[in-house]
A and B are shown apart, each in its own frame.
Chain A
Amino acid sequence: MIIESSVGSQHTQEALGPEAFLRTLPPFDELAEGDFAAAMAALEVVYVPEGTRVLRRGGEPSSHLNVVRKGTALLSRDGVAALSVEPGEWFGLPSVLEDRPPEFDVDAVDDLLIYRIPGEVVHELARTPAFAEQVTRGLAGRLRATSGEADAQPTVVPMAPVLTLVSRDLVALPPEADVGEIARAMREEGVSSVVLRTEPPAIVTTRDLRNRVLAEGRGPDTPGLSVSSSPILAIDAGTSVAEARRMMLERSLHHLGVERGGELVAVVTTGDLLRHDASSPLHVQRELATIPRAAFAQVPERFRAIVPRLLAGGLSPLEVTRTIALLTDVLVQRAITLATETIGPAPVRFAWLTLGSDARREQTLLTDQDHALVHEEVDEDGAEWFHALATDVTELLETAGLPRCPGGVMAVNWAGSIETWRRRFERWFAQPDVNALYETSIFLDNRVVAGTLEVAELDEIVRAFRGDGVLLARMAAAAGTSRPPLGLLNRLRSTADGTVDLKEGGVNPIVAIARVLGFEAGSTTRSTIERIEVAAEHGGLTRDGAEELTEAFTFLQRIRLEEQVRASRSGRPMTNRAPLAEMTPTRRRHLKEAFVAIERLQNATIHRLGGDEVSR
């Protein structure tokens, strides 16, 4: 049963006065005592009757930051509902901060009890780091600002010299670089800090860009030197990893310089430390590569232990899912090796394909087995050998915590010669009925994890069909099967148990749209993010649309991973569902915004490809 969600977070139902209520909400929960007291000294409570227009789009700038305590406000544009604002959520912040006309009409859907803070005080608060996060404008920015739990402590290989952590050259710019150049260098190099070649050298981190540039309302031409820190705290290259870690923890540093002969040669980050954790992916990878049959049952425990550490270490959820996929590859390779030790060597060359999220390297902790076999032509004995291989590997993987695919998409059922597979692909693409579209959605996402057989010709079939309008329209229509759980006024719809399905309602729609767009662009990448990127390059998506989808995808994967970690810690079964009542209002709002963006881009894509005119 689907019901309209009216549950706020738990604390919106608790008996709390204005101060206590606001103190539970981001960003107020992170304000320093003095800043919070200043906000509370200016706090006002107003009551707005149902039907009142609180702010008018393009009208007077908002005089206050408004936090809804009770009731629902609706943001809309030209009469089209954009977002509902529910208890614990705010509106009017961009308008009041920049003293510009509101971007939305805001109406009271029912009677509103509003806690509000006057503009002049909001301007003061905007200088605090907690508020600066909220100031980062745009959906993408706000989604990025939502970070996860950080309670796992890495343990480090202690005695190795710190320089072994460093995997890249120093990223340095001339002293006169402005923050725009610095930000671009960070993006291009994929680093979180840039060194300025002053004497002594200075450092600018992403945190500086946020706290000293964005939050201060400064622009990209701000001199980098004016927001930098100098001198850079540095240690000698021969110092042990353990010592470096202790220093970073004690001084809460995210970046630490490494010197050799008195010259700065590198910057290590907390992320670098994490990658050399004793239970790091590298370590587990080595362990899995030689794991005996009897130890497969201990694999789930190893996987569950890694994820929270990676998240806490600041790795993006996409890096985490890539890591899980990588480790799963090693596990599958090991299972195949063990199987061949029992049943003997393969009669002909083959390729073991992994499918679905694992093939896309978007695997979370909750996943089942999806795989298939491609082999050279074989006789009956040969087919039997491959069946034996598939059976044994499936059992081993099941022991390792990967349940069998309920739809039977496994190598025991899906094996065949390259010629068989070629005919299957061509049939699916040429006659895209409901079943064919379903198979397509599964088998387009394939990746070879073991074996020596070349299967690239399957991708050539994909490229051959990229211009097929009928196929694209049908694929687009099929991509509309899963919809974000949005209700009236774009409220979050939860099920009877108060949860939303992040996978069905968010991840699946994005993956499906991306798959079609990638297909259209003739791309054979399997990664959802790369497919979105390719679509933006080929005009299938706008730049903004691509960024919104990417951010929404990253955000949803993060919550999924966090929920799974939380469930496994408290001994509950892992699911893809997130309980709404346990989410902070800010996170609920981000979730809502992500769903709204997904729905919009889903509809736009389906419409553009003619999927809404297809009868399926």
Chain B
Amino acid sequence: MLALDLETTGFDPRAAEVLAIGTVPIIDGAIRVGAATSTLVRPEGRSAVEGIVAHHLRPSDVADAPRLVEVLPDLLDVIEEVDALLVHNAGLDVNVLRRACASLELRWPRPPVIDTIDLINRIRKRERATGHGRRLPRNLSGARQAFGLPPHQAHDAVSDAIATAELYLALQSRLTR
């Protein structure tokens, strides 16, 4: 399984461009931090500035980075190999990648996608059924806190990917009890 996180120029998958990609593999239930990867990406458009609050990347940070067309094929090769892709809020990140594939005429490998938000929803449903439902935040930091995980360095692609992977292990452990 590969946990993945993107930093993008916005929250609309039709317009957002990739600024950074972070990944980390999970093998036999262990997050292999040493095999994590982190790549900055130079956007094609000029829209990068607008999202600075969300992703904390300045245009100058990515000015010398490779373009998406240069890094995407390698990422797709990796995704092709994994049994599942793990993403927090897959609706945004996966759709951004799919649209990028379409526009660059690359094949999206259609991996099974696990969205930590779906797992949170399942736990929420289960807790409601047993009558002690609580407020479960869906954002990554809030969800981590709700499940007893330490604070993490948000808005950094690889740190968010590791944070997502940790959240997944916590959620998975909760769901199998």
Contact = CB atoms under 8 A, between A and B. Distances in A.
Interface of A: 12-20, 40-49, 69-71, 87, 110-111, 113, 115-116
Contacts of A115: 33
B91 interface: no
Given A13-B151, A113-B149, A18 B173 contact: no
Interface in B12-30: 29-30
Contact of B29 (A16, A46, A70): A46
B149 A17 contact: no
Interface of B: 29-34, 148-154, 159, 162, 165-166, 169-170, 172-173, 177
A42 B31 CA distance: 10
Given A44-B30, A44-B32, A111 B148 contact: yes
Nearest to B26: A45
A124 to B, nearest CB: 14
Instruction: Pick the 4 closest A-B CB pairs, nearest first.
Output: A47-B169, A45-B31, A41-B34, A15-B151
A17 B159 contact: yes
A49 B162 contact: no
A47 B153 contact: no
A47 B148 contact: no
A17 B148 contact: no
Given A47-B173, A111-B148, A17 B162 contact: yes
B154 A47 contact: no
B33 A19 contact: yes
Contacts of B172: 47
A427 to B, nearest CB: 60
A504 B7 CA distance: 54
A51 to B, nearest CB: 9
Chain A CB within 10 Å, residue with most, of B30, B32, B177: B30
A113 B173 contact: no
Given A45-B162, A71-B148, A113-B149, 14 more contacts: A13-B150, A16-B150, A17-B153, A17-B159, A19-B33, A20-B153, A42-B34, A43-B34, A46-B30, A47-B170, A70-B148, A70-B150, A87-B150, A113-B150
Given A17-B159, A18-B162, A46 B150 contact: no
B141 to A, nearest CB: 9
A484 to B, nearest CB: 29
Contact of A15 (B152, B169, B177): B152
Contacts of B30: 44-46, 116
A20 B172 CA distance: 26
A207 B134 CA distance: 56
A112 to B, nearest CB: 10
Contacts of A87: 150
B159 A70 contact: no
B33 A49 contact: no
Nearest to B170: A47
A42 B29 CA distance: 15
Residue from the set B33, B149, B152, B170 with the largest chain A CB neighbour count within 10 Å: B33
A7 to B, nearest CB: 14
A69 B162 CA distance: 14
Nearest to A45: B31
7 contacts: A12-B150, A15-B154, A45-B30, A69-B150, A70-B149, A71-B148, A116-B30
A43 B162 CA distance: 12
Contacts of A20: 153
B33 A18 contact: yes
A47 B31 CA distance: 9
B150 A45 contact: no
A16 B31 CA distance: 16
Contacts of A43: 32-34
A43 B159 CA distance: 14
B27 to A, nearest CB: 9
A114 to B, nearest CB: 9
A69 B33 CA distance: 14
A377 B31 CA distance: 82
A43 B33 CA distance: 5
A65 B106 CA distance: 43
A64 B166 CA distance: 18
A19 B162 CA distance: 11
Contact of A40 (B31, B34, B152, B154): B34
A313 to B, nearest CB: 39
Nearest to B32: A44
A72 B12 CA distance: 41
Contact of A17 (B34, B152, B177): B152
Contacts of B153: 15-17, 20
Contacts of A110: 148
A46 B170 CA distance: 9
B165 to A, nearest CB: 7
Interface centre among A41, A45, A47, A49 (most CB of B within 10 A): A47
Nearest to A38: B34
Contact of A45 (B33, B151, B159, B173): B33
